[in-house]
Structure 1
């Protein structure tokens, strides 16, 4: 497994086209692997290509890729990077083996994490109608999706709780008479976006209905409960819409002061 980072040159027209369409970005990412064909479907339990865009400032957008094989991002450098300054020593992106991090995961260890996900649930508007998949739209429900005990157990971690003396109220804040998870847990929502884009179908120019994906970027701290399950989450992704930049969980050492979420 490998993890790669590519800084997007937001001034280039090619970059703006990729950033405006998760479908186009997915195609560009998958083109980084010569042996993969567009028709290839990953096996359910196999490591897969995952990607995520992190926007730290208006002109600082980073593309992260986790993949079973080392990628060649030359085409991305040409379309959306700085090709004039790329060279053998600095091709325009960084790739490192992922195994050292995966191998050091141990139950009880704590890490800072970042995850962009597509929190969804099923609803039935009328009796007798089939259940419909829909996105969580409020922060309390989006956090609740990640904090679900069964989901965390399946993913091999639990989100850390804040010490009692750092909570606004002993039982946490309230929201419509319900506990608000944002004051109890080391968890924050950094970004929420609703992406709508066309998905081409076939070569005749026909198009499906526009695809809409609600993405939420979480940051916080977690404790490892099942290292093998967490390794699967890190290499297979979390939740839906993984082809559209969701599902990639990344970890970093806890180097920040205890009172801050990284």
Structure 2
């Protein structure tokens, strides 16, 4: 497995085009591999996420079974004349060091959804969670099976009557709508999805399960920049 970071030059039209559509970004990311990587199943797959840290700092992260070649992205949306267009590191050594009870800061952009039935007898329909409280609950329900526990705040640091129990914040909530062309028949469809970014601190409860989460993704819409969780040392 490999972890890659690429900084987009948002002043360039190519970067703005990539950022305007998750479908276009997905195609650009998948073009980074000579052999098409797996895009389905429960095993390791290509995951990607865009972090809008500031107007001038927009970063693309990719986790992948194979090492990517981002030459085309540098030419279209980076700094072609600058040394070192992107940074790729082996991910395996980091994953192997994960231990039970270790504490990490994390970031995750996800598509928090649930299935509901509006009327008796109708099939269930996938519907997005739209409020921060429900989006937090979506993640909390998945923490045990995903191999981690989100840390709680000390009592003296809680300021709100509800929704302030955990070391977790939700931000960057976005409603996305973009076109998609079906490869099987060439039909054009419209895709809509809601995304949210989670920042917080977690404790490892099951290293193997967390490794699966980090390499296989969490939740739906993985092809569109959702599901990639990254860890960083606390502090």
- The TM-score range, normalised by the shorter chain, is over 0.9
1:196 aligns with 2:177: yes
1:19 is matched with: 19
**For the pair shown, which has the larger CA radius of gyration, 1 or 2?**
1
2:139 is matched with: 146
Which residue, out of 70, 74, 78, partners 1:77? 74
Which residue, out of 154, 159, 171, partners 2:150? 159
1:207 is matched with: 188
Q: Which moved more, 1:123-132 or 1:64-73?
A: 123-132
Q: CA deviation at 1:194?
A: 0.6
Contiguous gaps of at least 5 residues in structure 1: 174-179, 256-262
Q: CA deviation at 1:203?
A: 8.8
Alpha-carbon separation, structure 2, partners of 1:154 and 1:123 = 22
Contiguous gaps of at least 5 residues in structure 2: none
Q: CA deviation at 1:35?
A: 1.2
Q: CA deviation at 1:60?
A: 1.3
Question: Structure 1 residues 242 and 93 mapped into 2: Cα distance closer, same or farther (>3 Å)?
Answer: same
1:248 is matched with: 228
1:1-262 equivalence runs, <5 A: 1-36=1-36, 41-42=38-39, 44-86=41-83, 90=84, 92-148=85-141, 151-168=142-159, 173=161, 180-181=162-163, 183-202=164-183, 206-208=187-189, 210-255=190-235
Alpha-carbon separation, structure 1, partners of 2:200 and 2:49 = 17
CA contact 2:38–2:45 (8 Å) conserved in 1? no
The normalised TM-score by structure 2 is: 0.96
The normalised TM-score by structure 1 is: 0.86
